[in-house]
Amino acid sequence: MWNLDPGGLEPSKDLPLLSNTGDIRIRHYLINLDVKFTEKIFTGALIIFLEPASEKEKKDGILKSHGGDQSSEKQSNNVAEGNCSKDGAKYVGVIDKDGNNQEGEIGQDTNRVQMGQKEENGSMESESELVGKDLTNDSGDGIKKDKVLTPGCTEGKTHREWFTCILDCCDIVVDSVEEIKLDDHVKSIRGDADKLLSSENSNSRDVDNCEDKKEDKGPRKIFVESETKLSNLLGYRRCNFKERNAAFTACLHLPGESLSFKVGDWSLSIWKKGIRKVEDFPSVIRIVYSTMAKGHSFTWTFDQLGRECVFSQGAWINNRSLFPCQEPPGAMATWQAFIQTPKEYVVLMSGDEKAETRVTSTGMITSYYYVDMVMPPSMLAVAIGQWQGVDLPIDVKSSEQEDTIKIVYDHKSRGTSCDHEPWPCRINASHQPVIPARIFAPRSILPLAEEEFGGRIPGFLNAAFKILGPHPFSRLDLVILPRCFASMGLASPSIVFISQSLLSGDGSLCSRLAHEITHSWFGLLIGAMDWTEEWLSEGFATFLEDPVQSIAENWTKEKFHEISNLRALLRFKALKAEIENTASELQIMRPMGDQSHTRDALLVGYVKNGRHPDKWFLQVHYLKGYFLLHYISEIVGLESLLHVMSTYVSTFHGRLVLSREFFKILFDMCPKLSENGINQDVIDNEWLDSPGIPKILNQERFIKGNKLIEQVVSEVTKWETVDTHFRIKDKGKLKKKTCPELPDVNVNLSSEQLCLLLEHLLQSGRLRQKTLAKLREDFELHLKNAEIRHRWCELVIKHRFMDGYGDIRMFLLKDQSMGVYLYGELLASEDPIQRLLAETCYEAVAMVMDRGCRRTVEEMLGIQQSK
């Protein structure tokens, strides 16, 4: 077994980050892949455009170099000790769990981190024999096959002498790695470069902020010196994005020269014989490769109509099994992607604009996407299937009432300059309250999705604009993923994946759409520098659910107050339950503690608990983050806090932050906090760095004077009376006289009220079967939203209410990710019938279940693990 290494990496829980981003940076990814549904793989090439790390990046990262005398033994065996810089955060696609679901590769591959390829005594000649020699020779002579290095292969060796570029990846079969020498191909791209240079000053995209800010000439020397002036192609300081992308694309078909490489379990190492310095390392590299069906970045499955589809699922490993990349937080780049599919498929992807498509000579469709904003490779999300789409209206009906939350983003007072890498930034340039949005789904559910979400999304976009200002991305696609999707939502730039479980027919779960929309700002536009400060995205998005919905739907302040406190109570119960069942180390909002605001903390070569099996069940960061913001809003007022948030966005957009930076703005703008004795120390001690629930937080504060909650409490009493009625009645005639009448129960409770009622009933004593039957019938519980049905199923399990087992079955088949928790309940009861129910449901869906969910359920059932 793998032991803890000196750096503290726990392979079963932590996620390694091996790229040497302190040495070299990828500035642009060019992805060109074919989708092969029959084999469940992508195959094609990745071209990366590299530069030596800038002085700042070196300083931010680890100064260790892989060149010179660094032994590969060291880098291979000492994962946690670094070889990588970690100078920022994971701007990862943001996954929303419901506490019951999880994903990915839980608890498996505990030895994956073992990079055990020790330096062998092979000669350099044998190394070079291992690498592909001629890309253009694909005549199938068998040589290439011999050269294929699979993960875990120990053949290829990095060299202690030559500079080595290390990329993060896993489950990828690399066919060849080649240097593309632009110098040799000046002519083929001369036209583009000339055009680029001549249009340098006439380009008119709204990027006025990016001309003169980056004076960082030194590290880019390599390009400037290059005859073809690659820096012009990179357009790094010029922002001629369109021409630049065209020039990159021209590199797709240039021949290359073989480079040495080695594929490890978690990395791809590339070096060039004779090159010792990063400055001399190739600047354009093509990697010809295929993904593997077992790769965890993707779910290959069937849509709701039984047709093949594939989507990135927001895995622990991000996109590492899709393409080799630099994962350490802070390593950001632009990208382009060409994806070839059979013609009936639609490729939906994060990208600045909708796909450009064209039909290839072989009758396939190529979909082209690009992103001009520099972003981490983990942000790329893709869903390929036979989706149908519908455009949503851009207009928003506004009928503002008097007493609503008044917040209007003020461009003038908050328009600051951009302090990020140059790209066509929208934050100070756009005044578009509602961006174009579309919904995609298989045609069987598209009308339902359009009816339920379509009318709401423009309003939510508009409300988010009012609070936070311009949308960071210029468009939005929502994709309703198949039932196996293991999250409630996954937000990536310009694209949001939504669970079908959110379609309830009555719009009662639509606040989750508000949540996903606000991730465009929190989680995507502003990332956490300390990757583990997840609350900076999840806490903010959860907190904004209620204000966004309130503004979009013109709630009065009173209505907002009532509903948001009712929701707060439900969230409080969820947090309390979770805290009781979670290891205390996982309850901390800032797991890196004090370290998280020092650079030292960023030097570790892994993400703490990045693959922790329990973590995917947890909502602690969502809920504690939410309650921290809720608490602050109670003191300073909601509108003030929203104002602080928009200032925070203008100040830090496009950058990586620590929570401290948010609090600095907060304390500056809200002196009321310190007047109330709240300072950074209090926040650190009581909220960020401690497990458990802060003392100040108790449910009474939400209950007090709340009419919606009072209503529920009186309904609970009625249902207790109902139960007494049935109990006495069942006992026979003798007691009949004292039997209370059946009370008039209120069946018009809101969805949240009904959730709260069921929570109460779950906490109270035993209920008669007749009470449960009446409850189901009166409220038509089996037809309600997934949150309500989930609580109903818990009640059914608790009381072994066999008439409700059909509802559990439906839940486990349809709401697969939320259902994982119910499997646990069914088995914990040790009731043979409930066990049988769990087993038969598992058998019915196992083949289409998310792999992570499936593995967890199999573990519960004691079934031999599926591969």
Residue 341's Cα: distance from chain center in Å?
Answer: 25
Report d(CA 323, CA 315) in Å as an integer: 14
Smallest distance from Zn ion to CB 497, Å:
12
Smallest distance from Zn ion to CB 338, Å:
28
Report d(CA 559, CA 550) in Å as an integer: 8
* Structure tokens given for 192: 């583009």
Q: Which residues pair with 441 in a beta bridge?
A: 388
Q: Give whichever of 110 and 416 is closer to Zn ion, judged by the CB atom.
A: 416
Report d(CA 203, CA 748) in Å as an integer: 60
CB atoms within 10 A of CB 609: 20
In Å, how far are 50, 85, 505, 645, 664 from 660, measured between CA atoms?
A: 33, 21, 41, 14, 6
* Interacting span for Zn ion (CB under 5 A) from 114-122, 530-538, 592-600, 814-822: 530-538
- Going by C-alpha positions, the residue among 626, 620, 632, 468 that lies closest to residue 539 is 626
Q: Give whichever of 315 and 355 is closer to Zn ion, judged by the CB atom.
A: 315
Contact 572, 697 (CB under 8 A): yes
Smallest distance from Zn ion to CB 648, Å:
14
Report d(CA 715, CA 746) in Å as an integer: 7
Contact 270, 261 (CB under 8 A): yes
H helical segments located in 582-692: 620-636, 638-652, 659-669, 671-675, 680-682
Q: Is 747 exposed, middle or buried (0-12, 13-18, 19+ CB in 10 A)?
A: exposed
Q: Give whichever of 203 and 680 is closer to Zn ion, judged by the CB atom.
A: 203
Q: Give whichever of 112 and 512 is closer to Zn ion, judged by the CB atom.
A: 512
Report d(CA 355, CA 349) in Å as an integer: 8
Q: Give whichever of 79 and 524 is closer to Zn ion, judged by the CB atom.
A: 524
Q: Give whichever of 103 and 161 is closer to Zn ion, judged by the CB atom.
A: 103
Q: What angle do CA 338, 339, 341 make, to 5 degrees?
A: 145
In sign, the C-alpha dihedral spanning 203, 205, 211, 217 is: negative
Smallest distance from Zn ion to CB 584, Å:
23
Smallest distance from Zn ion to CB 649, Å:
10
Smallest distance from Zn ion to CB 211, Å:
13
Report d(CA 638, CA 632) in Å as an integer: 8
Smallest distance from Zn ion to CB 266, Å:
27
DSSP state of 601: G
Smallest distance from Zn ion to CB 631, Å:
20
Per CB under 5 A, contacts with Zn ion among 404-423 are 418
Q: Which string of x and - marks every residue 359-398 that binds Zn ion (by CB under 5 A)?
A: ----------------------------------------
Q: Which string of x and - marks every residue 534-563 that binds Zn ion (by CB under 5 A)?
A: ----x--x----------------------
Report d(CA 381, CA 490) in Å as an integer: 9
Q: What angle do CA 589, 594, 595 make, to 5 degrees?
A: 105
- Going by C-alpha positions, the residue among 80, 111, 82 that lies closest to residue 7 is 80
Report d(CA 460, CA 123) in Å as an integer: 63
Report d(CA 90, CA 312) in Å as an integer: 16
| Sheet with 346-349, edge to edge strand ranges | 298-302, 308-312, 382-385, 346-349
Report d(CA 322, CA 337) in Å as an integer: 12
Q: Give whichever of 662 and 719 is closer to Zn ion, judged by the CB atom.
A: 662
H helical segments located in 736-861: 751-763, 769-779, 786-798, 805-814, 816-828, 832-845, 851-861
Smallest distance from Zn ion to CB 452, Å:
20
Which position among 161, 452, 516, 538 bears the catalytic label?
Answer: 516
How many of the chain's residues bind Zn ion (CB under 5 A)?
A: 7
Asked if 427 interacts with Zn ion (CB under 5 A), we say yes
* Interacting span for Zn ion (CB under 5 A) from 18-26, 89-97, 99-107, 304-312: 89-97
Q: Give whichever of 418 and 678 is closer to Zn ion, judged by the CB atom.
A: 418
Contact 178, 251 (CB under 8 A): no
Q: Give whichever of 442 and 523 is closer to Zn ion, judged by the CB atom.
A: 523
- Going by C-alpha positions, the residue among 779, 783, 705, 698 that lies closest to residue 746 is 779
* Interacting span for Zn ion (CB under 5 A) from 87-95, 121-129, 644-652, 778-786: 87-95
Residue 553 a catalytic site member: no
Asked if 96 interacts with Zn ion (CB under 5 A), we say yes
Smallest distance from Zn ion to CB 96, Å:
4
Report d(CA 419, CA 668) in Å as an integer: 20
Q: Give whichever of 96 and 179 is closer to Zn ion, judged by the CB atom.
A: 96
Q: Give whichever of 94 and 182 is closer to Zn ion, judged by the CB atom.
A: 94
Q: Give whichever of 541 and 604 is closer to Zn ion, judged by the CB atom.
A: 541
Report d(CA 88, CA 90) in Å as an integer: 7
Smallest distance from Zn ion to CB 102, Å:
15
CB atoms within 10 A of CB 83: 29
Smallest distance from Zn ion to CB 534, Å:
9
* Structure tokens given for 378: 């983990």
* Structure tokens given for 372: 């001009």
Q: Give whichever of 418 and 435 is closer to Zn ion, judged by the CB atom.
A: 418
Q: What angle do CA 815, 818, 819 make, to 5 degrees?
A: 75
Smallest distance from Zn ion to CB 404, Å:
25
- Going by C-alpha positions, the residue among 764, 634, 763 that lies closest to residue 697 is 634
Contact 692, 702 (CB under 8 A): no
* Structure tokens given for 479: 């994709």
* Interacting span for Zn ion (CB under 5 A) from 94-102, 318-326, 764-772, 815-823: 94-102
Active site residues: 516
**Which residues contact Zn ion by CB under 5 A?**
94, 96, 418, 425, 427, 538, 541
